[in-house]
Amino acid sequence: MPGDRLARVLAELSAEGEAGWSSVRLCEAARDIVDVSGAGVMLMSGDVPSGSLCTTNDVSNLIEELQFTLGEGPCVDAHHRNHVVLEPDLARSGEPRWLAFTPPAVDAGVRAVFAFPLQVGTVRLGALDLYRDQPGALSDEQHANAMAMAELIANWVLDVQAHAPNGSVAQELDRDADFHAVVHNAAGAVSVQLAISITEALIRLRAYAFSNDRLLRDVAEDVVARKLRF
C-alpha cells in the first residue's frame, strides 16, 4: 500500500487492538490519510443503496443521506460503473453532474467530492466517499492513498462479515452503521397499503421524498408514525 502515512495508520490501528478496527475508525483514517474534510462509506445491495456504514461528521452524513434518498450521487456512480468518480468542483457553473444531489450538497458546504469503489475480486460492496470544503483535484499521492484505503475497508468488511452467523449482519458492521430500518419498515407498510412489492414501495417513498424536498428517513418516520398514508 502506498505512502508512509498509510503505513502509520495501519500500525496505529494494530496498536489499538481489536477496538481500533471499527468502521468509524476506518472512516476517520481515510479522512486523515487522504487529507480531506470528511469521509463516509455507503454499502450497496445490488444497484440500490442499503445504508451508511460510517461517516465522520454531519456533512459526510448528509452526503450519504442524500444518496440514499435520491438514488444518485458519486457513490452510486462509482458502484454502478465500477470506477473512481472525481468531482473537484461541485459548485462549478454549467449543468450539475447530479441534478438532485448537487444543490443540497453545495448548500451544506461540499465543494469537491470523490468516490472510490469497494471491491474484492468480483464482489462489489459500495464505495468510499470523500469530500472537501474547498474545490480542487486530489494529488497523485492522495488518489493512491484513497485507493489503498478503499481496498483496506473492503477487505475488512468482507472479513468481519465472513465470521457472522448465516443470515445476519456482523456486529462490527451493524454497531455504527445506519441501515435505515425505519425506511424498510415504512416500505412494508406502503406495500400493504397499496398492495405492491417492497421494491415498488421503496420507489414510491423515494419519489414522494424527492417531490416534497424531504429526506427519505423523515418521510419513512411519518409513515411508521401513521402521520402519512399512501
**CATH class assigned to 4-169:** alpha beta
Extract long-range pairs of 51-55: CB within 8 Å, 24+ residues apart.
51/177, 51/178, 51/179, 51/180, 52/177, 52/178, 53/23, 53/27, 53/126, 53/157, 53/173, 53/176, 53/177, 54/23, 54/24, 54/26, 54/27, 54/176, 54/177, 55/27
Q: Strands 85-87 and 48-55: what pairing?
A: unpaired
pLDDT the model gives residue 78: 95
Report pLDDT for 107. 95
Handedness of CA 216, 115, 138, 54 (dihedral sign): positive
Blockwise average pLDDT, block size 10, the chain, 230 residues: 65 66 89 95 77 92 90 92 94 80 95 96 92 96 92 89 73 68 83 88 86 86 90
H, E, C per residue of 157-205: HHHHHHCCCCCCCCHHHHCCCECCHHHHHHHHHHHHHHCCCHHHHHHHH
Helices (H) and strands (E) counted in the chain, each on its own, are 10, 5
- At which residue does the C-alpha cell 462490527 appear? 172
Residue 47: what pLDDT?
67
pLDDT for the residue numbered 183: 79
> First and final CA of the chain: distance in angstroms?
51
Longest dimension (CA), the chain: 56
DSSP state of 56: S
Query: C-alpha 208: how far from its chain's center?
Result: 21
What is the residue extent of each domain of the chain? 4-169, 181-224
CA–CA dist 158, 176 (Å, integer): 16
Give the model's pLDDT for residue 39: 97
Q: What gap in Å lies between CA 70 and CA 89, rounded to an integer? A: 21
The pLDDT value given to residue 215: 84
Nearest partner of 171 among 27, 19, 58, judged by Cα: 19
Q: Are 29 and 156 in contact (CB under 8 A)?
A: no
Contacts of 174 (CB under 8 A, 6+ apart): none
Is the Cα torsion angle 77, 54, 179, 100 positive or negative in sign?
A: negative
Q: Are strands 38-45 and 123-132 parallel, antiparallel or unpaired?
A: antiparallel
**What is the reported pLDDT for 104?**
93
